[in-house]
Amino acid sequence: MGITGNLTSNQLQSFNSQGYLVIESFANPEEIDAMMKRMEQLLDDFDCSSTASIFSTKNQQKLTDNYFFESSEKISFFFEEKAFGEDGNLQQPKELSINKVGHALHEHDPVFKNFSSSEKFSSMLLSLGYKRPVVIQSMYIFKQPGIGGEVVPHQDNSFLYTEPTTCTGLWLALEDATIQNGCLWAIPGSHKNGLVRRFLRGEQGVYFDRPFPSYDQKDFVPIEVKAGSLVIIHGDLIHQSFENQSPKSRHAYSLHVVDTDGCKWAQDNWIRRKVEPEPLYAS
């Protein structure tokens, strides 16, 4: 029996209108627990003396290095900007210092691969019109208490560009996401205005092809969700998150999907590998 779409017409109408859609209880407690425990194991095995790569959306061009580029095909660890003191040492345990782990959990770790290739994902993507979708990157995001960094306003199509554009973000809350601990914020309907700028990789490194646009913060609305909720994000939706200044973390598992049917992966994306992984389902 073939896979069928699992989104209702009302859900699709809301997604097309707002540019995002929240699906509550997309992941069950057992799936959440399995992913969080697996990440604990990965962190335990990580030797933090082997790298000190920092991830920041504020200083993305400056801090993007070969470790970041190579992470597109590996499971790599990135620290928070505020994790280190003036002496260069971590100010808290490593498990409270990591910004994210990426960008190929969905390919190389069995727990995350199993969830990322599940039928409920395939059914949802079929509903969204994908023909041969592939997960192009995956991230486990910690949003650490007290130091969890800001993610500036952006569009996912800027970083994962296809012609025509096909990127969709799938953001799964592993813990409750609130205004206090740094939930997502978005400008509803902003996806209808198209792509503002691209993040390119050239011979001299990475850069944006246009200046950072200015946004009115009054236009953003918070997307507070319970653990297990999935936020589907249109590739042109302008979204962000603020620093986590609360004592509670905000773990999330994020996937980005593009289509490989009738579109072309841009060779000047930051991910340079051949984009022909096994599709989530056969067309």
Average pLDDT over residues 245-265: 96
Cβ-defined contacts of 78-82 (< 8 Å, 24+): 78/53, 78/54, 78/102, 79/52, 79/53, 79/54, 79/55, 80/54, 80/55, 80/144, 80/147, 80/148, 80/149, 81/54, 81/55, 81/56, 81/147, 81/149, 82/147, 82/149
Does the pLDDT of residue 143 top 50, yes or no? yes
Q: Residue 52's pLDDT band (boundaries 50, 70, 90)? A: low
pLDDT at position 61, please? 46
pLDDT at position 276, please? 63
Q: Could you read off the pLDDT of 202-240 as tens digits, one per residue?
A: 988 899 999 999 999 999 999 999 999 999 999 999 999
Does the pLDDT of residue 1 top 50, yes or no? no
Q: Could you read off the pLDDT of 176-205 as tens digits, one per residue?
A: 999 999 999 999 999 999 999 999 999 888
Distances from the Cα of 143 to the Cαs of 29, 35, 187, 231, in angstroms? 20, 16, 21, 16
Q: Could you read off the pLDDT of 83-97 as tens digits, one per residue?
A: 888 888 889 999 999
Cα 188 from Cα 15, distance rounded (Å): 10
Taking the chain, what is the end-to-end CA distance rounded to the nearest angstrom? 13
Cα 177 from Cα 226, distance rounded (Å): 6
Total-model pTM:
0.93
pLDDT at position 62, please? 44
pLDDT at position 203, please? 87
Closest-CA residue to 188 (of 255, 156, 234): 234
pLDDT at position 205, please? 87
Does the pLDDT of residue 56 top 70, yes or no? no
Does the pLDDT of residue 8 top 60, yes or no? yes
Q: What is the mean pLDDT of the chain?
A: 91
Q: Residue 280's pLDDT band (boundaries 50, 70, 90)? A: low
Instruction: Fill in the DSSP letter of residue 204.
Output: T
pLDDT at position 204, please? 84
**Cα-atom radius of gyration of the chain, to the nearest Å?**
18
What's the one-letter identity of residue 144? Q
Does the pLDDT of residue 58 top 70, yes or no? no
